[in-house]
Amino acid sequence: MDVRFDTRRVLVDLDDGRTLGAPLSWASRAAELPASQQRRWVLVDHGRGVNWPALGQEEPEGALSLWIIEQDRLYEGALGVLQRAGWDAAALSARDRELVALWRLEADVYNGGFLQFLGNWGQQDLAIARDAAGLIGAQRTHRAVISLQELLGPLIEREDVTSIDDVHRLIAAAAPSDPAARFEELEAELTEAMEQELVRCVVTAYGPAPSEA
């Protein structure tokens, strides 16, 4: 219904009465426009993104995506519950536990890769994120995680592997015929799957996110 800017955030007023916000950095170019041009926003075809004609080329998902804003709010809510539980993930509801595991998967894969996620959070969070992806309909993400698990399983079980660094070493040294040589390909498949489907599946399954106003 409306898109507004304050000194810290861009705020989106929705037709269901909610208001969701994101940091100005999420719409930094639009934040620099004169107020008259900021008000001239347009919806993308599916209605879940916003473009500003004054910025030039329009993006199919929007220069500002409501899918991403709402997913971020859902993740923030679950992480807040985790913090209030003294960081004891076992104390969370199944819903919040799944959201935390999916956030950890996304954050680590994007920032450091699949092995960073596995090293930080272990097999339990991996299983929760994998199963949650399947339950909410993110089937490509689900299959990609399973493929990576099947590839890494034999490496992790080797007697000479005592840390994630050892797994990195074995992957780097893998011959082209070695299944481990497919790791980067499978990791790229996971990243692409998350980008294309996971955000929508998270919002559809766990939303709506609570209003900020």
**Does any domain span residue 213?**
no
Q: How far apart are CA 16 and CA 209, in angstroms?
A: 12
Residue 53 within any structural domain of the chain = yes
Q: Which amino acid, residue 100?
A: V
Tell me which H or E stretch contains 84: helix 66-84
Q: What is the DSSP letter of 123?
A: H
End-to-end, the C-alpha distance of the chain in Å comes to 14
Mean pLDDT of the chain: 95
Q: Are residues 34 and 135 in the same domain?
A: no
Query: In this structure, are 97 and 108 located in the same domain?
Result: yes
34: CATH = 3.30.2020
Give pLDDT, residue 168: 94
In the chain, how many domains are there? 2
pLDDT band for 52, please (50, 70, 90 cuts): very high
Residue 142 pLDDT > 90: yes
In a domain, 121, yes or no: yes
Q: Domain check: are 77 and 123 in the same one?
A: yes
The pLDDT confidence band at residue 111, using thresholds 50, 70 and 90, is: very high
* 211 part of a folded domain: no
pLDDT in tens, 146-204: 999 999 999 999 999 999 999 999 999 999 999 899 999 999 999 999 999 999 999 99
pLDDT bin (cut points 50, 70, 90) of residue 20 is very high
Q: Which domain holds residue 96?
A: 68-206
pLDDT attached to residue 57: 79
CATH number, domain with residue 133:
1.20.1420.60
Residues 140 and 84 grouped into a single domain:
yes
* Averaged pLDDT, 98-111: 98
* Cα distance between residue 11 and residue 14, in whole Å: 10
17 and 105 together in one domain: no
213 pLDDT band, cuts 50/70/90, is confident
Res 43 pLDDT > 80 = yes
In a domain, 27, yes or no: yes
Q: Is residue 98 part of a domain?
A: yes
Asked if residue 184 is part of any domain, the answer here is yes
Local confidence band at 68 (pLDDT 50, 70, 90 cut-offs):
very high
What is the reported pTM? 0.92
Residue 14 within a domain: yes
Q: Identify whether residues 177 and 107 lie together within a single domain.
A: yes
Asked if residue 48 and residue 147 are part of one domain, the reply reads: no
Mean pLDDT of 19-30: 94
Last residue of a domain, one of 20, 40, 65: 65
pLDDT (0 to 100) of residue 101: 98
pLDDT bracket for residue 58 (50, 70, 90): confident
Instruction: Quote the pLDDT of residue 75.
Output: 98
